[in-house]
Every structure is written in structure tokens, then in C-alpha cells.
């Protein structure tokens, strides 16, 4: 049996540009506390703590994917120690799917701190009551451990949110946790998890990394190539950086033999090979690809659609207009984090293009911006539930019939290919909560813009006025 060590660099990685990193300082701190990191763990910390020229984190989101028992927890412990004792972050929040996982991490961290006098002397209080586990320093900095739920993090603010066991993480969990970062000057969210066919959010992070162009995401994955032979020790090494360190090749071989020919579990759990996703969305790849035309150009008048993600962390503005061949061009104009930028950006677009309509779904998350639009004197068309159903059905028919043309933009394509339906009266609309964990606001905004552009029944005058 091979005694080779696991590969210390990830097979798949997407790392934002940086000018420096505090990773080596964090590694030294951990060593002083008795936490010796493997080379791959130190590498991960180096990417995680990369900084831009203004000293902010180069990555707002950091995702680490590798098989169980390799030592992902030590990376999180290192990040927590660095946050408290090196970076002087005010508030850290640690969450896992099962609270017993949080509690074990809490106990390991307490052990590291208590065996290190230089760290222990800075501690004011360690709370050990069940459900209230946490560490507070004399400076007021706190690390709190919470079980993941639909209300996790509500009432908190945090500089860092650590999310363990992200193979069990969905959009509703995220909607409860991400807002705790919104008021912090230099926030970061960290995901660790294993490959699972239900790991929708983790898969979404992977797809964003593979698509490229996301300057705020750091994604690191230790996995074997999809075509790997499960019995090949080189595949084991690619997916298990701790092989030969804390997991023996002999044990991995025994795992495979014990499966009695059922290699699907082994490929997923030990080799971190993602199971192929069964196409169950509204659109398939061929349908959407057939509508792509990178040279597409629209004519005046154009219409804009606006949407906001369910957790309000992203907003999208799309445009639609007829082409000279009678087909409809749809395009994602702007897609950014948060919502504070939306009204001003729409006003710029209105001043420039004098659109036929600016459409907002009053019953959706973007409905909360109506007062801001009114204050900014930006007139908008409001949709009813019936309008939304007609818009979604019309968009589907147009894609299915090849009557829409798009530019192949990655965010719009990801939203379209992940979209699912939800019942709406006798019709249907896009399902925000079940459309995997890819934000579909680019698709919703494009749908509204398309509806306004094509529907002869759409309002020609806005529903909101400021006289």
C-alpha cells in the first residue's frame, strides 16, 4: 500500500488578488499555542488572510472543501485564535449544523488558550453553560458559538462568521447569518464542508469559483479528478491532504474494501468528487445556450427590471428591448452586493435611456425600495401577482421558442439554469427558496424587463409618481 503523503495544494482554487497576507503571523501564533498546522492548513490560512492595499480582506467569502477527518477544524480554530489574539476583531460568530460540533470546537479552543499563559492572561471570561458557550477577552472581544437555525445570529453583529458543516447549509440559514456582517468595516464569512448531493450552497460557491470573475470569493477544494479510479492512491492523495499525516493510505484502502463494491459513497465522501446534478430546473443547458448571442444589440425604447435577493445581500438590474429582427434582447446591467446603490443607479439609467418602463415586483424583496424610488423621483411600474405569473410564463415561452437573445453573462446564466418553479394561483413563478442556493435576482429582474418590453398589456405609465 502506498505511503505517499496527501497533496498539499488544492486541485481547484480561485483566489482573489492580494498585496500581502497575515497568514504566516497566524501560523506562528498557533504554533505558540501548541496548534501545529500541516502545510496545506497553513496554505489555506495564507489565502484566507490575504489583504488588499487598503488592508481589508481580499476575500469576503472563503470556502474550504475536503474530505472528513483531514483537519478542516484546525483551520477554523487557527482563524478564531488569530481573530481574537492577533487581528483584534471585536466579534466572532461560530456556527455548525449540529451544536455538538460547535461544542467540541469550543473545548479544543479553550484547551489551546488555557495551556498558553500569554493567551490565558488576556481572557476575561469563558462561558461554559450549554447553549451559551463563548470566550470573552479583557478588551471586550468575543467569540460566540451558536447552533445553526433560521434565527441564528439574529440580534448579533460580527466581524467574522465561521460556518462549519456547510454540506448542510441553505439560503434560509444564510439569510439569518449574513446580515450580522452588514455594518462591519472589514467582514469575512468562512465556509468549510464536504461534498454532498444536498450541499446546494457549497455547490453554488464552487460554480461561482469555476465561472471566474468573482473578486470577493476564495475557493479551495481538495478533490480527485472526476474520471479517477477509486482504487488509485494518487486519487486518494489529491483529495486527502492529511493522508500520511493523520490518515493512513492503508485505512483508506480498508474503507474502499469495506464498501463491497459500492464506490459512489467512496467517490463522494473520500475523493470529494461531486455527484452529477440531475437536471431538474426550468431550463436545460441546451435551451439556454441556444439563446446566446454575444453580438446581440437592442433598440429603443428599452425597459428595466429590478430585483433583490431574498436575504437582501445582492441586487440586480436588467434591461430588455426589441432587436431589429423582432426578437428580444435581455441583459444584466448591474449586479452588486447590498441594496444601497440601486436607486441612484436606476436614476442614472433613466436619465440616460428614458426607458419605456422601470419595473419592480411590489410583493418581492425589492418592494421595500419603493419609498426610496419615490423620494428620488424615479417613477416605477408595479407588478401584481398576475403580472408576475404572466412575466415568468412569457419568459419561459420565449426561451423555449428561441425568441430571447442574451449575451451569455455568467450571473444571469447561473440564475436561469438553477431556477425552479413555485405555484402562483393557477400559474407559477420563480421559486426563490428552492432554486438551489444560486441567487436568482438576475433572472427575476430580466423576467420583469422582458415582460415590460414585450407585453402589450403592460402599463405605459408608471404607477408611482411624485408631482
CATH, residue 354: 3.30.420.240
pLDDT over 90 at 182, yes or no? no
In a domain, 274, yes or no: no
Residue 158 pLDDT? 86
Answer positive or negative: Cα dihedral of 427, 429, 433, 435: positive
Q: What is the pLDDT of residue 458?
A: 39
- On whether both 260 and 301 belong to a single domain, the answer is no
Quote the CA–CA distance of 301 and 319 in Å, as a whole number: 10
Reported in sequence order, the residue ranges of 66-133 that DSSP labels E, i.e. its strands, are 91-96, 123-127
Residues 248 and 302 placed together within one structural domain of the fold: no
Q: Where are the alpha helices (DSSP H) in 259-382?
A: 263-269, 285-290, 342-353, 370-375
CB of 62 within 8 A of CB of 75? Answer: no
Q: Is residue 24 part of a domain?
A: yes
Same domain, 168 and 61: yes
Q: Are residues 314 and 206 in the same domain?
A: no
Q: Write out pLDDT tens, residues 14-55.
A: 999 999 999 999 999 999 999 999 999 999 999 999 999 999
Q: Is residue 313 part of a domain?
A: yes
Q: What confidence tens digit (pLDDT) does each residue in 261-289 have? A: 678 889 999 999 998 764 456 888 889 99
Q: Are residues 216 and 312 in the same domain?
A: no
Q: What's the rounded mean pLDDT across residues 358-373? A: 94
Q: How far apart are CA 96 and CA 339, in angstroms?
A: 28
The CA distance from 148 to 167, in Å, is 13
Residue 437 sits in the same domain as residue 376:
yes
Distance CA 464, CA 360 (A): 11
* The predicted structure's pLDDT at residue 463: 37
Statement to judge: residues 126 and 63 lie in one domain? yes
Distance separating alpha carbons of residues 344 and 358, to the nearest angstrom: 13
Closest by CA position to 125, among listed 89, 96, 84, 154: 84
Domain co-membership, 317 together with 429: yes
- In eight-state DSSP terms, residue 277 is P
Supply the range of the domain harboring residue 260: 12-269
Total-model pTM: 0.62
The total domain count for the chain is: 2
Examine the domain organization and report whether 257 and 298 are in the same domain. Answer: no
Amino acid at each position: 500500500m502506498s505511503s505517499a503523503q496527501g497533496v498539499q495544494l488544492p486541485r481547484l482554487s480561485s483566489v482573489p488578488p492580494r498585496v500581502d497576507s497575515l497568514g504566516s503571523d497566524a501560523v506562528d501564533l498557533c504554533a505558540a499555542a501548541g496548534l501545529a498546522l500541516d502545510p496545506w492548513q497553513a496554505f489555506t490560512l495564507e489565502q484566507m488572510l490575504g489583504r488588499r492595499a487598503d488592508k481589508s480582506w481580499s476575500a469576503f467569502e472563503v470556502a474550504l472543501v475536503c474530505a472528513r477527518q483531514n483537519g478542516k477544524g484546525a483551520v477554523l480554530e487557527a482563524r478564531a485564535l488569530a481573530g481574537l489574539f492577533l487581528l483584534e476583531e471585536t466579534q466572532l460568530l461560530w456556527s455548525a449544523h449540529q451544536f455538538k460540533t460547535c461544542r467540541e470546537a469550543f473545548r479544543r479552543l479553550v484547551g489551546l488558550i488555557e495551556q498558553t499563559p500569554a493567551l490565558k492572561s488576556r481572557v476575561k471570561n469563558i462561558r461554559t453553560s450549554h447553549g451559551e458557550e463563548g470566550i470573552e477577552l479583557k478588551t471586550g472581544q468575543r467569540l460566540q458559538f451558536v447552533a445553526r437555525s433560521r434565527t441564528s445570529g439574529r440580534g448579533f453583529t460580527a466581524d467574522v462568521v465561521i460556518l462549519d458543516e456547510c454540506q448542510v447549509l441553505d439560503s434560509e440559514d444564510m439569510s439569518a447569518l449574513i446580515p450580522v456582517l452588514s455594518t462591519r468595516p472589514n467582514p469575512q464569512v468562512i465556509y468549510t464542508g464536504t461534498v454532498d448531493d444536498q450541499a446546494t450552497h457549497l455547490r453554488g460557491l464552487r460554480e461561482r469559483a469555476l465561472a471566474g470573475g468573482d473578486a470577493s470569493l476564495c475557493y479551495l477544494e481538495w478533490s480527485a479528478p472526476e474520471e479517477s479510479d477509486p482504487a488509485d492512491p494518487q486519487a486518494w492523495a489529491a483529495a486527502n491532504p492529511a493522508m500520511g499525516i493523520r490518515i493512513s493510505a492503508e485505512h483508506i484502502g480498508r474503507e474502499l474494501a469495506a464498501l463491497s463494491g459500492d464506490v459512489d459513497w467512496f467517490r463522494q465522501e473520500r475523493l470529494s468528487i461531486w455527484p452529477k446534478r440531475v437536471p431538474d430546473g426550468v431550463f436545460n443547458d441546451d435551451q439556454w445556450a441556444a439563446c446566446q448571442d454575444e453580438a446581440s444589440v437592442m433598440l429603443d425604447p428599452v425597459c428595466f427590471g429590478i430585483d433583490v435577493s431574498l436575504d437582501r445581500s445582492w441586487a440586480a438590474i436588467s434591461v430588455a428591448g426589441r432587436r431589429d429582427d423582432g426578437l428580444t434582447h435581455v441583459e444584466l446591467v448591474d449586479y452588486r452586493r447590498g441594496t444601497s446603490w440601486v436607486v441612484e443607479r436606476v436614476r442614472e439609467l433613466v436619465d440616460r435611456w428614458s426607458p419605456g418602463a422601470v419595473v419592480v415586483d411590489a410583493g418581492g424583496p425589492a418592494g421595500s425600495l419603493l419609498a426610496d424610488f419615490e423620494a428620488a423621483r424615479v417613477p416605477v411600474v408595479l407588478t401584481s401577482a398576475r403580472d408576475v405569473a404572466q412575466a415568468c410564463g412569457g419568459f419561459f415561452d420565449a426561451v423555449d421558442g428561441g425568441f430571447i437573445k442574451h449575451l451569455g453573462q455568467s450571473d444571469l446564466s447561473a440564475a436561469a439554469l438553477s431556477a425552479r418553479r413555485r405555484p402562483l394561483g393557477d400559474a407559477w413563478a420563480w421559486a426563490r427558496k428552492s432554486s438551489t442556493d444560486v441567487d436568482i435576482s438576475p433572472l427575476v429582474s430580466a423576467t420583469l424587463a422582458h415582460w415590460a418590453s414585450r407585453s402589450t398589456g403592460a402599463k405605459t405609465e408608471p404607477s408611482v409618481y411624485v408631482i
